[in-house]
A and B are shown apart, each in its own frame.
Chain A
Amino acid sequence: MTEARPALPEDELFRAEIVAWLDAHLCGDYEAVRHRGGPGDEEADPVLRRRWEQELARGGWTCVGWPKAEGGRGLSIAQQVIFHEEYARAGGPGRMGHIGETLLGPSLIAWGTPEQKARFLPGIRAGTEFWCQGYSEPNAGSDLANVQTRCWQEADGSWRVQGQKIWTSLAHESDWIFVVARCVPGSKGSKGLAFLLLPLRQPGISIRPIRQMAGGNEFNEVFFDGAVAEAGHIVGAPGEGWKIAMGLLEFERGLSTLGQQMHFLHEFELVLDAMRRSGRTHDAQLRQRVAQAWCGLRAMRYNALRVLADRADAGLRREALIYKHYWSNWHRELGKLAMDVLGPEADVVSDDPLIRRLQQLFFFSRADTIYAGTNEIQLNLIAERGLGLPREPRPAAA
């Protein structure tokens, strides 16, 4: 889209505005978190990055795509693209608030009550309340509809939650969690679920970190033992939890993908840097792989622009359907390429910022093809929704 038409003068003014703001604010203390944070690097100075979220908010640069009426900046798609591009180009820190901003916020805007919006949107926008996503359970991963965590309503209307979530990213850094739990005893599958909002810091909730393959603890087990949600903190009606939960996932394929692409471009350039540094620029096979990675990067960018060009029925469009599988596998390949560019140096735990970044990329990108729908689940979806092939057998819902 940026290439497809000449930029409008107001878009260029806007670009200058965000560039100037970042230039004036992403400095001083914040130098330490430039290009830091984000998946695989969430332990990079969370305190400072929280402060940065509030700095961004003061500048009006959080929730830029939300409608103005909901406290957002109401940017056009073209301007959101510019924002994400420039943010990534400047090395803006990985956004701690992204779950609230890109998942829960849009869901509340779509399905929340006026009270819920008034209560939760300002905290997300101000960078003062952080959210995590409580979907997966030990026995409900790909088969998410198999959630067993239970919830019930007390006489005063408040909700109680009993059970366990797992793989909850950033629960230890968050203030709130949204949870899918079973509100109709004995129900099965996608029926009988509720979508609840709970504060994490309460006696009924305990959080236990899980160590990841690269050594960090970015996700957790979250245990609920009579944990409390206020009466008004259910999104949708009891029994509508699945609809809300799935609707929220649609937002995952949003504009943030363009920011992600700038991030990928940056990582790709780091791989080129490493190649020059390691003196392997003449290795013909590495060169082939570098070129292939670049081709994938361009295709992804154009694919994202195709997706954004028509968001109306994004869920059904072919380019939207393939996107998650494509980028996650591309990213994984890039991680492996990075290691092969480094050669034996890749095997040594390193303090060198470039090498460390690439090692993180290598390890963390292994998760990309697992979360948000594994490769295999993506292939099922593509074959079923995109090609109309027979559906996987599913247990009948009771």
Chain B
Amino acid sequence: MHASEDQILIRDAAESFLGDVSSSAAVRAAMARPEGHDPEVWARIRSELGWCGLAIPEALGGLGLGAPELVLLLEQAGRHLLCAPFVSTVCLAANLLQQVADESAQARLLPLIADGRLQATAAMPATPDWASSAASLRAMRTASGWQLDGEIARIPDAGTAGLLLVLARVDGAAQPALFALDPSTHGLQLEALPTWDATRRFHRATFTAVALTTDARIDAPARSADGLKRAAALAQLYLAAEALGCAQQCLDLTVAYVATRQQFGRPVGSFQAVKHRCAEMMIRIESARSGVVGAAQLAATAADTTSLAMDCAMARVLTLDTQFYCAQEAIQLHGGVGFTWEYDPQLYFKRAQAGSHWFGTADALRAEISEALLS
């Protein structure tokens, strides 16, 4: 449960890099761009820093590290509200490929992601698993391969991705099928969503008789039931780490502000009513951090899927609640400036609300946990 030296290096490097390239001003500039991120920063992340390959096995061109290291990066990404298709490429697409795809697709695609040549993405479901996104998309066998019809409500960074991974239901099959396709495929329409949280871009995808060849289907059916559960659990964990970083930044911004803002002749942070609320934020953050670190350690062992899913859901529940709580407290404890566009709490507040249903709400995750406990 203790960060190794390598892990500390990874975290510190991420912190200093993102402190430079993802400052408040940089985030605001990225938000204003049509693609929603700075392509130069994204290119540096992919090539110079090699972050995309961190958790990809060495045999597939990655660094062969895992969840414990990735969560450290993601925490920093959340803290600095990094605007980049990193989460979509690594936490959704590469994760799905690793857990669900067959070996040949893994061998073809993961090295491209690892060395930064490929930006990929997948659906961001509003339920704790990917099943909901598969429910609205239907795949039918055709003479030449497959035809896809339906829609996917939310795909992050689809506007700039080179590869789209989609889950679709197949009549008569228990498990959804995983397809890899080019976002410019004929019949696929992407519609950008003007979201309040502009730090992560989403598209709605409509599929009208999208024709794919047989080899576009890339799941390994024997692994897919368990693999989909593991992939969803890991995605929850990664989003939890990002949310943790957001919460931490809300606390740091707030502490810095209340320690200097003077009223009644003293820093407002010397009033117990304010102090205690900062302490309360810290308690929630540190306990959530323990949850994230613990779940990530578990993910690095050969834990069974149910235990992993429960621990990742735990990490997600705690960070979701903490993230919103801290964002709301940050606004309140900043007073009037907390309500302005200029100060950052609003950015974290919007992110907290947007993220509140990525892979299910905290309530939905609690419902799943209670099912596992009581069944």
Given A272-B373, A290-B374, A382-B279, do A390 and B294 touch, yes or no (CB 8 Å)?
no
* CA–CA, A272 and B286, complex, Å: 27
- Contact: A287 with B366, CB < 8 Å? yes
Distance of B260 from chain A, by nearest CB (Å): 11
Question: Which residue of chain B has its CB nearest to the CB of A325?
Answer: B283
Interface of B is mostly: helix
- Contact: A387 with B279, CB < 8 Å? yes
- Contact: B272 with A392, CB < 8 Å? yes
* CA–CA, A378 and B282, complex, Å: 12
Distance of B74 from chain A, by nearest CB (Å): 17
Tell yes or no: B90 within 8 A of A by CB.
no
Question: Which residue of chain A has its CB nearest to the CB of B368?
Answer: A291
Tell yes or no: A319 within 8 A of B by CB.
yes
* CA–CA, A287 and B303, complex, Å: 25
Distance of B300 from chain A, by nearest CB (Å): 8
Tell yes or no: A154 within 8 A of B by CB.
no
Name the interface residues of B151-208: CB closer than 8 Å to any CB of A. none
Given A382-B279, A390-B267, do A272 and B255 touch, yes or no (CB 8 Å)?
no
Question: Which residue of chain A has its CB nearest to the CB of B281?
Answer: A387
Given A303-B286, A382-B282, do A291 and B373 touch, yes or no (CB 8 Å)?
yes
Neighbouring A residues of B266 by C-beta, 8 Å? 390
| A interface footprint on B102-142 (CB within 8 Å = 1, 0 otherwise) | 00000000000000000000000000000000000000000
Neighbouring A residues of B45 by C-beta, 8 Å? none
- Contact: B366 with A299, CB < 8 Å? no
- Contact: B282 with A295, CB < 8 Å? no
Neighbouring A residues of B287 by C-beta, 8 Å? 296, 299-300, 303, 322, 326
Given A1-B1, A294-B373, do A379 and B291 touch, yes or no (CB 8 Å)?
no
Tell yes or no: A202 within 8 A of B by CB.
no
* CA–CA, A262 and B289, complex, Å: 21
Neighbouring A residues of B363 by C-beta, 8 Å? 288
- Contact: A379 with B297, CB < 8 Å? no
The tally of residues in A whose CB lies under 8 Å from a CB in B reads 47
Q: Which of B22-30, B33-41, B311-319 contacts A (4 or more CB under 8 A)?
A: B311-319
Name the interface residues of A308-361: CB closer than 8 Å to any CB of B. 308-310, 318-319, 321-322, 325-326
Distance of B279 from chain A, by nearest CB (Å): 4
Neighbouring B residues of A308 by C-beta, 8 Å? 1
Name the interface residues of A345-394: CB closer than 8 Å to any CB of B. 376, 378-380, 382-384, 386-390, 392
Neighbouring B residues of A318 by C-beta, 8 Å? 282, 286
Interface of A is mostly: helix
State which of B298, B314, B368 has its C-beta within 8 Å of the C-beta of A3: B298
State which of A287, A296, A382 has its C-beta within 8 Å of the C-beta of B370: A287
Neighbouring A residues of B303 by C-beta, 8 Å? 3
Tell yes or no: B350 within 8 A of A by CB.
no
- Contact: B282 with A387, CB < 8 Å? yes
- Contact: B269 with A290, CB < 8 Å? no
- Contact: B286 with A322, CB < 8 Å? yes
- Contact: B370 with A389, CB < 8 Å? no
Tell yes or no: B213 within 8 A of A by CB.
no
Tell yes or no: A302 within 8 A of B by CB.
yes
A-B pairs with beta carbons under 8 A, tally: 144
State which of A302, A379, A387 has its C-beta within 8 Å of the C-beta of B293: A302
Given A3-B294, A303-B290, A389-B269, do A288 and B366 touch, yes or no (CB 8 Å)?
yes
Name the interface residues of A149-204: CB closer than 8 Å to any CB of B. none
Neighbouring A residues of B286 by C-beta, 8 Å? 303, 318-319, 321-322
- Contact: A294 with B282, CB < 8 Å? no
Tell yes or no: A306 within 8 A of B by CB.
yes
- Contact: A379 with B280, CB < 8 Å? yes
Given A284-B367, A387-B255, do A306 and B293 touch, yes or no (CB 8 Å)?
yes
- Contact: A302 with B291, CB < 8 Å? yes
- Contact: B267 with A386, CB < 8 Å? no
- Contact: A305 with B294, CB < 8 Å? yes
- Contact: B291 with A389, CB < 8 Å? no
* CA–CA, A322 and B251, complex, Å: 15
- Contact: B1 with A309, CB < 8 Å? yes
Tell yes or no: B306 within 8 A of A by CB.
no
- Contact: A322 with B283, CB < 8 Å? yes
- Contact: A390 with B270, CB < 8 Å? yes
- Contact: A299 with B314, CB < 8 Å? yes
- Contact: A302 with B317, CB < 8 Å? no
Neighbouring B residues of A380 by C-beta, 8 Å? 272, 275-276, 279
Given A302-B291, A387-B282, do A275 and B374 touch, yes or no (CB 8 Å)?
yes
* CA–CA, A125 and B270, complex, Å: 46
| 10 A-B contact pairs sorted by A residue (CB < 8 Å) | A287-B366, A294-B373, A303-B287, A305-B290, A306-B1, A318-B282, A321-B282, A382-B279, A383-B276, A387-B279
| Shortest beta-carbon contacts, A-B, top 9 | A302-B294, A291-B366, A303-B290, A309-B2, A390-B270, A287-B370, A291-B369, A382-B279, A383-B275
- Listed in ascending order, the chain A residues whose CB lies under 8 Å from chain B are 1, 3-4, 6, 272, 275-276, 281, 284, 287-288, 290-292, 294-296, 298-303, 305-306, 308-310, 318-319, 321-322, 325-326, 376, 378-380, 382-384, 386-390, 392
